[in-house]
Amino acid sequence: MSLNRNIRLISAHGMFTHMLFLLPIILPYYQSIGLTFRDFLIGEAVFSAVVILSEVPSGWISDVWKRRTTLVLGAFIALAGYATLMFAEGFWTATLAQGIIGVAVALNSGTNTALLYDLLHEEGREEDYRRLDGHRHGISFYGTALSCLAGAFLFQIHPKLPLMFDLLAILTAMICIAMVREPVRFQKSVEKHMFHDMWVTMKYALSGHPEITGIIIVSTVLMSTTKLMFWSQQAYYSEAGLNVLWFGVILTGSYILGGLAGQLSHKTENWGSNRSALGVTLGTLIVACTVLANVTSIWLGMILFFTGTLAYAVGQPRTNNAINKRVGPERRATILSTANLMIHFLFIPSSVVLGYIADKGNIGDALLYLAAQMLILGSAGLWLWGRKTTPQVQP
């Protein structure tokens, strides 16, 4: 099987995995089965907690098992999660569904990028990773944008239809990834037991290797910030007086913009090192949040919130590339999963603080807090990243 065909299948898997037809109408769907916004938030908390618990073990499974098999398993579990949610009639079943989907997300994260890099490494084409991962990332955005447009329409026909299309998309993603050839690579053997190996790898990532630690901190701050900016949009637009009917249109436009940015991100690969590029990205987000905190304007708000989408689309391939260049295949997926794990660790307390500040004050105060958090943690991460442990490797 040719490398190009494998790459196309991985991109298709990413697109179908990110087709979330339920996303734009998830709250109305919860209401249709008799649940409240509070119930939804509890389910989201359970989802994040499950991802935290599953993230590193799933990366370890990918490193000692096969990448393709891990992704097929993730798709199968996602099918179970969405099927459970479709037939849910109360709080506990819906929350269980969120937890099952959390396991699927953990199995997918890190493994998909590690599979792409391993295939390119096998052919001696590592230099193409950033461009191709950005392309994969962009197509995933397009899949989400398309499903957001369709999801609201399907919900009007029948509340269960968006979930039926989610199941169809996941099944298609499973077929695509099952057709990918597993790359030949060094597979890690278990030294003592699973938890020992995971502990050793996390120690490698978070202590004794300041460059890796710094990259993970920068990735954590950047990805959690863009997610918090995404969820802050509705509160900001509500204060600006925007009709709620436009929220879905803005969301779709945001994902399309992110898809374009992801696909074209490789064009900027020569614009400085990964470290300097992500430093500029963090600085841009700090300015955006500061301006948003002091100015209430629908059009300016749309532009500045779009910087968060652009930062996510461009930043993730950069951080993944920085990690891949410094870590061997025997622990690559575990390190990438550790990076994703830290995003959830920061997101959960940050979202609680952000919500509290917005509730006691306004969304502007919350965005100022977000800018201050980025400045402090981002600066620390960039400083550690600059402390080279392997002088022969460029940052």
pLDDT of residue 333: 64
Kindly provide the residue ranges of all beta strands, DSSP E only, lying in 85-156, ordered along the sequence: none
Residues in contact with 7: Cβ distance below 8 Å, sequence separation at least 6, in sequence order: 116, 119, 132
Per-residue model confidence (pLDDT) at position 147: 87
Q: Which pLDDT belongs to residue 282?
A: 92
Six token digits for residue 131: 């461009």
pLDDT of residue 264: 66
Contacts of 78 (CB under 8 A, 6+ apart): 17, 100, 101, 104, 105, 108, 170
The CATH architecture of the domain made up of 1-179 is Up-down Bundle (1.20)
Neighbouring C-beta atoms of residue 336, cutoff 10 Å: 29
Taking the mean position of all CA atoms in its chain, how far away is CA 150? 22
Q: Which pLDDT score is estimated for 193?
A: 47
Q: Which residue has the tokens 């100015």?
A: 295
Predicted confidence at residue 203, as pLDDT, reads: 64
Question: In the prediction, which pLDDT does 77 show?
Answer: 95
Given a cut of 50, the residues of the chain with pLDDT beneath it are: 186, 189-194, 390-395
Residue 116: HSE in the Cβ half-sphere, 13 Å Cα cutoff: 29
Q: Which residues contact 245 (CB under 8 A, 6 or more apart)?
A: none
Query: pLDDT of 315-330, one tens digit each?
Result: 777 887 787 777 766 6
Quote the tokens at residue 117. 């890099």
Do 1-179 and 207-387 share a fold?
yes
Q: What is the pLDDT of residue 205?
A: 59
207-387 in CATH: which number? 1.20.1250.20
Instruction: Give me the pLDDT at residue 262, please.
Output: 63
* Domain residue ranges in the chain: 1-179, 207-387
